[in-house]
Structure 1
Amino acid sequence: MIGNKVCFFQSLESTNSYMKKHLHGFKNGDIICAKVQTAGKGRRSNIWMSNSGDLHISVYLDNTTKEDSIFDVILMITNTLVDVFNKYSIDAKIKYPNDIVVGNRKIAGILIERVIGEKDEFVIGIGLNVVTKDFSRIEKKGTSILLETDLKVDYRDVLQDFIIAYNKLIACKSCDLYNAYLDNSVIIGRSVTYKEEAYNVKTINLEGKVVLEKDDKEYAMHMNDISFKEFYDE
């Protein structure tokens, strides 16, 4: 279960950075939420644009069994976010590995950081666009709950939706989460350029690798070895 303890801040440089710095003070499922992030970050050291009224959180997961992989966490978080957006009648999909998009516009991003020590721990940062209307300061196309629905929703209500949706999915079998991830993927069946050659995206395997296909041959690629940035340029 997550959300038994939620700490709210007016402003933080980064919720993930704060949580990692004060890790000893958190228990499994604890959440911190900042109204504003001044130095939010995403995958591949990208900057996450932060606006007051959007949702900026980090979740602490204590993976004491050391059985869960990064992909297991991705399955839980991405499916949770899709369920949250479904509540607002937003047709959100998953862009591999862990962006949430509407069409070719990004509405939420996830940064999963693994902390390995005496315990195996995850700090999961989530940025979700709730009320932002102007995305001209970033290269990637963006959207928000407000732009998609004309509803001005409070970010704290969206956080509560996230907690409820996540805790419901805990009871799901891993195979169901995996199949839901595939069903909501926007890259399967698409063409992608890798090292200046065109490939077809066949599937995403159980290890979380994207399987590319070319000339009847298959190539399994790790999520850190391939990018789908061109998706946002369409």
Structure 2
Amino acid sequence: MRKKAAQTRSLLIKQLANGDFNSGELLGELVGVSRSAVANHIKYLTNIGLDVFSVKGRGYRLASPLQLLDQNKISALLGQQSTNVVEVVSIIDSTNTYVKEHLHQLPKGYVCLAEAQTHGRGRRGKTWVSPFGSSIYMSMAWTFKGGYQSMAGLSLLVGIAINRSLKTMGIKDCKLKWPNDVFHNCRKLAGILVEVEGQVGSDASAVIGIGINVDLPNAVSEIDQPFVDLVSITQKPVDRNELVALIILTLTTMLTEFELKGLAPFLSEWREADLFYNEYVYLESGSNRIHGLSKGINEGGALMLENAGKVTPHHGGEISVRKS
């Protein structure tokens, strides 16, 4: 039943994507349901962030045309040399959850993309607000032959990859916040959630989750910190398919080097974009706070903090860093 409802909603979205009016009767005929059922599906779509309005006698229409993610277009942009398998779904609970549940069946470099997440997840159990068609929600599967120890600093590498991709787009002034955020003018633009599966002493797999704000609805109110999206920065439309392909290619290339050399080759890129370098910050873990001067990161991805003349490394986990 849920699968059928999801298919019906996907068909409705594709029909509405061009921004034209469609009557409830026409939509019902198209997807094989009654006009009242169409109304219920439209209500669901508005609840997940799709801006649909209705006019009596004319039907339903999106507030503006919608560019949908296109699996075939992304694969074409990746090129024939790419080994990445890309899957685009319309609405999902969480791309990370989906990849975790199917991890052992998926090829290395597999990517899941969604138009909307009903239970998007961020770091430390926070919700990642995921309105329909307005951002990038993606998760990549990657296996590391070296096990857990070969993943040190992985979330930092992903942040560097996102920043590289944005630079290629012409956005050159983003900053990286340890251990998993990308900022622009002190507002959050993107977040990273890396989840690891495997046993000590054997190969380990990572689910690399990425969320990037592209063109958020004006009505978004659930985000609990200052944020920004790419359209606000560039003041022009952003082709999500092109951006996704660029990130996949960049990240895949960097992961291949990371497997061989670790984080060391990328430290200078982090230093250049470090949001808090030489700033006084505090680390927060539960009720504990540690204050000090941020001195960048080491080859293991730890944050180096200077306190009372001594520099010590601090690793991720449940630690959060804030400017003092």
TM-score calculated relative to the size of structure 2: 0.65
1:183 alignment partner, one of 272, 291, 296: 272
Partners of 1:12 and 1:35 lie apart in 2 by 8
Greater CA deviation, 47-56 or 115-124? 115-124
1:148 shift after superposition: 0.4
Shift in alpha-carbon separation, 1:21–1:147, aligned structure 2, 3 A: same
User: Is the 8 Å Cα contact of residues 8 and 32 (structure 1) preserved in structure 2?
Assistant: yes
1:207 alignment partner, one of 278, 296, 300: 300
Partners of 1:197 and 1:9 lie apart in 2 by 42
1:76 shift after superposition: 3.0
1:109 shift after superposition: 0.5
2:130 alignment partner, one of 45, 50, 57: 50
Cα deviation digits, residues 163-210 of structure 1 (max 9, x gap): 222244345864221221122111111111344564111221122211
1:113 aligns with 2:195: yes
More helix by share: 2
What residue number does 1:5 align with?
85
Greater CA deviation, 130-139 or 115-124? 130-139
Cα deviation digits, residues 98-142 of structure 1 (max 9, x gap): 101112111111100000146310011111111115453211111
Partners of 2:289 and 2:253 lie apart in 1 by 43
1:22 shift after superposition: 1.4
Alignment of 1:4-83 (within 5 A): 4-53=84-133, 54-66=135-147, 68-71=150-153, 73-83=154-164
Cα deviation digits, residues 17-57 of structure 1 (max 9, x gap): 11111123201001010111111001101111112221101
5+ residue gaps, structure 2, are 1-80
What residue number does 2:214 align with?
130
Partners of 2:83 and 2:192 lie apart in 1 by 17
1:89 aligns with 2:170: yes
1:3 shift after superposition: 5.7
What residue number does 1:140 align with?
225
Amino acid at match of 1:103: N
Partners of 1:163 and 1:218 lie apart in 2 by 36
Partners of 1:38 and 1:198 lie apart in 2 by 37
Greater CA deviation, 17-26 or 217-226? 217-226
Shift in alpha-carbon separation, 1:122–1:196, aligned structure 2, 3 A: closer
User: Is the 8 Å Cα contact of residues 40 and 47 (structure 1) preserved in structure 2?
Assistant: yes
Partners of 1:224 and 1:190 lie apart in 2 by 22
Partners of 2:120 and 2:87 lie apart in 1 by 17
**Secondary structure, aligned partner of 1:74:** helix
Shift in alpha-carbon separation, 1:140–1:2, aligned structure 2, 3 A: farther
1:156 alignment partner, one of 241, 263, 267: 241
Partners of 2:316 and 2:105 lie apart in 1 by 31
User: Is the 8 Å Cα contact of residues 2 and 167 (structure 1) preserved in structure 2?
Assistant: no
Greater CA deviation, 179-188 or 191-200? 191-200
1:87 shift after superposition: 2.3
Percent identity between matched residues is 27
Give the number of the structure with larger relative contact order, counting CA–CA contacts within 8 Å between residues 6 or more apart.
1
Cα RMSD between the aligned structures? Answer: 2.2
Shift in alpha-carbon separation, 1:43–1:197, aligned structure 2, 3 A: closer
User: Is the 8 Å Cα contact of residues 130 and 145 (structure 1) preserved in structure 2?
Assistant: yes
